[in-house]
A and B are shown apart, each in its own frame.
Chain A
Amino acid sequence: MAELGGGDGGGHGKHEKKRAKKASGRVDMTPMVDLGFLLLTFFVLTSTLKEPKVMDLVVPAKKPQDSTQATKFPADRTINLLLSGKNKIYYYMGGKKAGEVPEFKRTTYSRSGLRKVLLDNNTRLNKEVLALEEQVKAGKLPEDSLKPQVSRLKMKSMTQSGGQYGLLAIIKPADNSTYKNLVDVFDELNITNVANKALVKPAPWELEALKLAPQ
């Protein structure tokens, strides 16, 4: 036991005095306690309890020539996200029609910005995925079946027979956007359960248009 004030203080004084001639049964624990606190301080300060997690990123495989991908998808289900410098983000729906520059809309990385835009364009798929998650929570579905089910649902939502309602996001970061911007966008896409996403280099005309976009 560790007590301040050494062995003589305390209510047990009388009792102890009698046995004082014999060697005291108590060991002075102060040094040990000191060491304990020292270790405690050391571990509190040096440990990193929050272990980092990883987010998966898949990029399209290199082809002999980078063909234009956007044309393969119906315009109303494709959102182009352009990440620009100074934490600015712009988006436009669909692909580029010949001789016409689509209107860039500005949004923010916040919940009321990008997330709202994505949710508005991906309402049905998001609801379906959330319903699946609810079922897992209620114990109606086994937990490990959630991931394959969600990815199957996402795949299906892109196909013709599946109803074609899943949203495809094409992420085009400009050179001066930051890594945080990239991770934030992927995070929002994961939260809103967007069906498919692709990381693509912005086209030269898009970089030009970014300069003219509303500030």
Chain B
Amino acid sequence: MPKIKMPKSSPGIDMTPMVDLAFLLVTFFMLAAQFKPEELVAVEIPSSIAEKKIPKENVIAITVSPKGQVLLNINGEDRRVNILKRMAEKYKTNLTPAEYTKFGKMGMFGAPMENMKQYLATKNEGERQKFPKLGIPADSLNNQFKDWIYTALTEYHSENAAIRPEISIKADNTTEYKYIQLVIDGLRENNANAYSLITSYEAKQQ
């Protein structure tokens, strides 16, 4: 049997196609990536067949944690500051201009008005996540949530009466319904009766 002649090939492999592919993927992921905004509470959302896209503008986003803590996010820095000013007036809380600015930059928030000063003194997201009184009270004894929604709707209305802010509710799979009920009650008190429940998409099977 003749010996099979192994071709003398170079030990180096041409990696061009692989690198090309890698860069293609980098480009794809860079363009397609949607960064998760920092969240104060971890929320795992249920799935549904709903196909409607999440609203981006003029949103009042409500998040309910598994423990029932209610958090709010309203887009627009100036708008948030104005809303807090209205709330501070109502609850007779004295806040400094620096605190207002900080609040404007915060995004999602959730603290009782009486603890707002301490809440605004937190340095970063991590400290806020551990804030002992995290969450806006929404029970009937001390319904600050209702007032937040009221002030937010008033603020939107004073900006532009034609805009109807979208109210989205995001809650964890395990959040008990009683907390959702409190949120819905607070919204209904303000005549806000249509909401968007945030779910992840799941294909429909008949």
Binding site for B on A (CB under 8 A): 1-5, 9-11, 13, 29, 33, 36-37, 39-40, 43-44, 46-62, 83, 111, 130, 173-184, 186-187, 190-191, 199, 201
Contact = CB atoms under 8 A, between A and B. Distances in A.
B177 A174 contact: yes
Contacts of B122: none
Contacts of B22: 33, 36-37, 40
A55 B15 CA distance: 47
Contacts of B177: 83, 173-179, 181-182
Contacts of A176: 176-178
Nearest to B9: A11
A182 B169 CA distance: 13
B35 A46 contact: yes
A58 B193 contact: yes
Contacts of B12: 3-5, 9-10
A36 B26 contact: yes
B81 interface: no
Contacts of B9: 11
A83 B30 CA distance: 43
Interface residues of B, number: 60
B154 interface: no
Q: 10 shortest A-B CB distances, which residue pairs? A: A43-B29, A47-B33, A54-B196, A55-B50, A175-B178, A180-B173, A179-B171, A5-B12, A183-B46, A187-B48
B13 interface: yes
Given A52-B200, A56-B196, A179-B175, A3 B50 contact: no
Interface in B137-169: 168-169
A54 B15 contact: no
B194 interface: yes
Given A3-B12, A40-B22, A179-B174, 9 more contacts: A2-B15, A39-B30, A47-B29, A48-B36, A52-B200, A53-B201, A58-B195, A183-B48, A186-B197
Q: Is the interface of A mostly helix, strand, loop or mixed?
A: mixed
Interface string B2-36: 00000001111111100100110110011011111
Given A179-B174, A182-B177, A55 B199 contact: yes
B49 A191 contact: yes
B134 to A, nearest CB: 18
B188 interface: yes
Contacts of B34: 47-49, 51
Interface string B62-96: 00100000000000000000000000000000000
B12 to A, nearest CB: 4
A54 B197 contact: yes
A49 to B, nearest CB: 6
B118 interface: no
Given A58-B193, A61-B188, A179-B175, A190 B33 contact: no
Given A53-B199, A53-B201, A1 B16 contact: yes
6 contacts: A2-B19, A3-B14, A5-B10, A39-B30, A46-B35, A178-B176
